[in-house]
Amino acid sequence: MAETILIKNGRVIDPANNLDTISDILIEGGKIAKIGKNITAEASQYIDASNKIVLPGIVDMHVHLREPGREDKETIDSGSRAALKGGVTSVLAMPNTEPAIDSIQSIGILKEIIKRSAKIDVFISAAITLGRQGNQLVDMKALKDSGAIAITDDGASVEDEAIMYETLKMAKKEGLLVIAHCEDRELSAGGMVNAGFTATRMGLRGISKESEYLRVKRDIAIAEKANARLHIAHISCAESVEIIAKAKKRGAQVTCETAPHYFSLTEEAVLGYDTNMKMNPPLRGSSDRLAIVQGLSDGVIDAIASDHAPHTDNEKEIEFERAEFGVIGLETILAVSITELLVKGALDWSGLAEKLALNPARILGIDKGTLGIGRSADITIVLPQEEWLVEKKGFVSQSKNSPYIGKRLKGKVAYTIYSGMIAYSGISKNQAQEH
């Protein structure tokens, strides 16, 4: 049963409606019923949001939930709980599961699991090619009709240009978003860390920036030729930002995301062979990190997505070269963004809400990311000044491979409201009553 919740005196941020003001919010029947000052209503729950920030629930458009097939890494249940702890109320699940999400059958299996165990909205992306092998296109119409909203071979690029062209043409016709993982495997093959001094010092093969940005360039060119829309996943280097900025200027229908690790960490972090710093694309140089921050603040980069990529200790606590690529991120996406972007002045609260909720919702074409009246009440309430230590034992996610373990972050989720219910509370009695 949906309850009536009255949120009092929070600083309400809703960029879709140009809102940044101290206000109350009334939630009824799972929806936002009223926003305004001095709302009085009989409610079953009251939240004192004074000194807190009230944001649209985070929409994380790049999440590996690993189900079906790799339940040892994460499940839709554990991933949903991790999301709620991080203030995330909607995710786009990546299709590189086992089996890959490339057929009506596999979407059917996934939908069953979502229905049974999701505690947030889990949107479905399907593969572009069968088995993500890069050869044969999926049946886009069938997958769209079964509920996929996007397609991606994430984890791999579509190497064949003709297939990528066909993908963009067909996806346009079917109304599916194409998400490109940009990596030229001929250039990156065998690479482990950023090419250059880090790779040399560590005695490992490098993943060059060219392997990313040349593919960004190629995929945008193909999208322009097909007159189609393209979203580029997890950009990590300055050249990609520049290429996308230019493409946007000339009117290409391109959007992109980055992940918190690319604006908060650099390749220096990997020199100690910490496998929690190993991901693909890899951490880059400090000028790349600054270009990503700049791209976020000037609008070239549309969205922040976690690229939550859980791996077990068995796959991470081993030699660097054998360890899997990827880091978890659902529980830290907001705090890292606050610590690195808001506190340092690159984005204000509205800007942050745009990158974390509004823009990803718009890119995905889903009715999320705003606090508009009548919308589903997905709301994240934040204690902006609260500092916390990231500890391995503190993670709800089934996997613990976070690059932030041992670091202090600013900004803590006080409450996550999903569909009009308080789905997570991270607040002590004292903090709840603080004025």
Rule CB under 6 A: which residues touch ligand DOR?
Answer: 64, 96, 154-155, 181, 279-280, 309, 325-326
Angle (nearest 5°) at CA 95 between 92 and 96: 130
Q: Which stretch binds Zn ion (CB under 5 A): 4-12, 154-162, 355-363, 413-421?
A: 154-162
Residue 308 interacts with Zn ion (CB under 5 A): yes or no = no
Q: According to DSSP H, which parts of 175-259 are helical?
A: 185-188, 197-202, 209-225, 238-249
Residue number of the CB atom closest to ligand DOR: 326
Residue 400 interacts with Zn ion (CB under 5 A): yes or no = no
Q: Which pair of structure tokens corresponds to residue 296?
A: 């976020």
Instruction: Select the binding partner of residue 85 from Zn ion, ligand DOR, none (C-beta < 5 to 8 A, by kind).
Output: none
Query: Considering 307, 313, 367, 378, which one is annotated as catalytic?
Result: 307
What are the DSSP calls for 57-113, one per residue?
PEEEEEE---TTT-TTT--HHHHHHHHHHTTEEEEEEPS-SSS-S-SHHHHHHHHHH
What are the DSSP calls for 326-387, one per residue?
-B--TTTHHHHHIIIIITTTS--HHHHHIIIIIHHHHHHT-S-S---TTSB--EEEEEEEEE
Q: Which C-beta is closer to Zn ion: that of 121 or that of 307? A: 307
Phi and psi at residue 263, to the nearest 5°: -105, 0
Query: Dihedral of CA 411/56/63/400: which sign?
Result: positive
Q: Tell me whether residue 307 is one of the annotated catalytic residues.
A: yes
Q: Which C-beta is closer to ligand DOR: that of 174 or that of 274? A: 274
Residue number of the CB atom closest to Zn ion: 181
Question: CA-CA distance, 168 to 179, in Å (whole number)?
Answer: 10
Longest Cα separation, the chain: 65
Q: Which C-beta is closer to ligand DOR: that of 80 or that of 152? A: 152
Q: Which C-beta is closer to Zn ion: that of 172 or that of 181? A: 181
Tell the smallest beta-carbon distance from residue 154 to ligand DOR (Å): 6
Overall size of the chain counted in residues: 435
Residue 73 interacts with Zn ion (CB under 5 A): yes or no = no
Tell the smallest beta-carbon distance from residue 155 to ligand DOR (Å): 4
Q: Which C-beta is closer to ligand DOR: that of 309 or that of 423? A: 309
Instruction: Select the binding partner of residue 96 from Zn ion, ligand DOR, none (C-beta < 5 to 8 A, by kind).
Output: ligand DOR
Q: Which C-beta is closer to Zn ion: that of 188 or that of 416? A: 188
Binding-site member from 102, 154, 288, 324 for Zn ion (CB under 5 A): 154
Tell the smallest beta-carbon distance from residue 434 to Zn ion (Å): 41
CB distance 377 to 419 below 8 Å:
yes
Tell the smallest beta-carbon distance from residue 392 to ligand DOR (Å): 19
Phi and psi at residue 119, to the nearest 5°: -115, 10
Instruction: Select the binding partner of residue 309 from Zn ion, ligand DOR, none (C-beta < 5 to 8 A, by kind).
Output: ligand DOR
Tell the smallest beta-carbon distance from residue 274 to ligand DOR (Å): 14
- Site residues (CB under 5 A) for Zn ion, limited to 79-98: none
Question: CA-CA distance, 290 to 403, in Å (whole number)?
Answer: 19
Phi and psi at residue 205, to the nearest 5°: -70, 145
Residue 181 interacts with Zn ion (CB under 5 A): yes or no = yes
- Residues labelled catalytic: 307
